[in-house]
Amino acid sequence: MTSNIEADRGSQLLLAVLPDLDLQGARMALDRASLEMIIDDDVEQSAWAQACAIAIVACGSKMFRRGVFLSRQPECETVVGNGLPRLFKRALLEAGCRKEPAPAHAFRICIGTKGAGHIYVSATGWKAIVGPKPVATTSPGNELSGIFARAASTAIAFRAFVLSDPIAARRMLEYDLWQPQGQSSPASAELRNLPADLWLLGMGNLGQATLFTLGLLPYRDTSQVRLLLNDPDICGWENLGVQLLTQPNWIGRTKVRCAADWAERVGFRTILNERKFLATSRPDQDEPRVALVGVDNLNARRFAASAEFDLLLDAGLGSTANEAFDVRLHAFPGSRMPVDAWPEAEPSERVGEGNVVKRGNIQSLVQAGVLDECGAITIENQPVGVPCTALAAAAMQVAQLCRAIETGSCCEMVDFDLVNSNRAVSQVMGRPVSPIVACPAR
């Protein structure tokens, strides 16, 4: 945990959501936060459950500072990703799971139907199901529905345990990654063909979640996958608690170079682009024609959506504390123009000296001398970042890309949150998608 409030994004979120909380109380709540993961032995050898568990550890380790703990260590081998099989418990420990017993107050997530969990996680086909009661599934899920189930379960745990939301763990949530608006998905959950040539714009919170998701997919040969990683930014301490792959040794280095190191260890081929995406930027003839976009700069998003990619899937995360668990996905080219998806807003005053009084609790830190005005300006001008929301967005992005590969169609708009699955809205693209470069799964 950093002592610098400008870089402590977790405490910033708590101070924004719980205005009566002070900085010490926010940090105590985060330092106490812990997860215990119970993995049902009936599902521990399934791809969806392993992807879910690894993602819970990777994401939970960022959001729950006391740690993520295992109720028991599974003895089976891994079945996710492309690497050689290894002990599943070793993969969990390497992802950040703690060896010692969980504290008694830990929030318990049960993957499967057995065990005394506060909530239960399951996946059937393309559906991710999370709630206070176990659900017997009729067919196995896949890696993407497992990852999404992880995102939803960690969001529930954080809201219940850290944000003290009294109904967070009492509501059943069910998301369909193929048909997000709740229709019954007719598609097979088997991942047969996977994306092989991608332009990833943004290597921050969402871009790293996308890269992590791709790393868990069952590629037969990851050397067939080429990723163009595009981001001009440098890793900072403020990224450490919210960006899934960022480690302390990344600080001060460009995000693209760090992400490329990670991707190449998985076996992917990479191209590095450390330039900003401008109005004149276009993919060259020999560069990827499919883009996954995850940036918070609206101009860059508009430019990319107008850059003549064969298919572009843009995921946007909520920028304020009240939108911390919200996601909106747009696909281009579609029925909407980029300016319709992101209309020009009325000019607004950027937070600066003299107008920093935006949140009472942040202003109170300035008045108490804990934070200077420059630090308050930095906090007010940066978006909220929650790893579980980014991972849900990434799973939905990649799922819709897999749908486009298999059927030539995908959703051109998906709007959902990790609070109430009944609010999900989607619209299917009215035009066929150009053929997408793909490679076989195992």
Residues 183-203: pLDDT tens digits?
A: 666 668 889 999 999 999 999
Q: Given 176, 208, 225, which residue is the final one in a domain?
A: 176
Residue 12 lies in a domain: no
Tell how strand 226-230 and strand 269-273 pair up. Answer: parallel
Show which of 176, 211, 230 is a domain's final residue. Answer: 176
Instruction: Specify the CATH number for the domain of residue 263.
Output: 3.40.50.720
What percentage of the chain exceeds 70 in pLDDT? 88
Domain that holds residue 216: 193-348+382-440
Determine if the pTM surpasses 0.75.
yes
Give pLDDT tens digits for 353-405. Answer: 444 444 446 666 555 555 555 544 455 555 667 899 999 999 999 999 999 99
Q: Is the pLDDT of residue 326 over 60?
A: yes
Question: Quick one: 261 and 122 in the same domain?
Answer: no
CA distance 71 to 59: 18
**Which residue in the block uniquely carries the two structure tokens 């996308």?**
210
Q: Using one digit for the tens of pLDDT, what is the confidence trace for 143-157?
A: 999 999 999 999 999
Question: Is 167 in the same domain as 200?
Answer: no
What is the rounded average pLDDT of the residues 309-323? 91
Q: Are residues 201 and 165 part of one domain?
A: no
149 and 281 part of one domain = no
Specify whether 170 is located in the same domain as 204: no
Same-domain pairing of 125 and 265: no
Per the structure, the count of domains in the chain is 2
Specify if 255 maps to a domain: yes
In a domain, 371, yes or no: no
Q: Is 184 domain-assigned? A: no
Give the pLDDT band of residue 252 (cuts 50, 70, 90).
very high
Give the range among 115-119, 293-297, 305-309, 353-357 with minimum mean pLDDT. Answer: 353-357
pLDDT of residue 281: 96
Tell me the average pLDDT of the chain: 89
Of the listed ranges 17-31, 32-46, 94-108, 281-295, the one predicted with least confidence: 17-31
Residue 357 lies in a domain: no
Assigned domain for 377 exists: no
Same domain, 405 and 267: yes
CA distance readout (Å), 390 to 59, 147, 148, 177, 219? 10, 11, 10, 15, 22
Q: Verify that 200 and 282 share a domain, yes or no.
A: yes
Q: Is the pLDDT of residue 295 over 50?
A: yes
Question: How far apart (Å, rounded) are the C-alpha atoms in residues 353 and 370?
Answer: 17
What type of residue sits at position 136?
A
Residues 6+ apart with CB under 8 A from 212: 55, 58, 244, 245, 391, 394
**Residue 6, in any domain of the structure:** no
The verdict on 168 and 233 lying in the same domain is: no
In-domain check, residue 341? yes
The pLDDT value recorded for residue 343 is 82
Question: 200 with 125, same domain?
Answer: no
Does one domain contain both 291 and 219?
A: yes
Show which of 145, 176, 207 is a domain's final residue: 176
Q: Is the pLDDT of residue 42 over 60?
A: yes
- Going by pLDDT thresholds of 50, 70 and 90, the confidence category of residue 3 is low
Q: Which of 151, 178, 156 is nearest to 317 (CA)?
A: 151
Say if residue 226 is in the same domain as residue 151: no
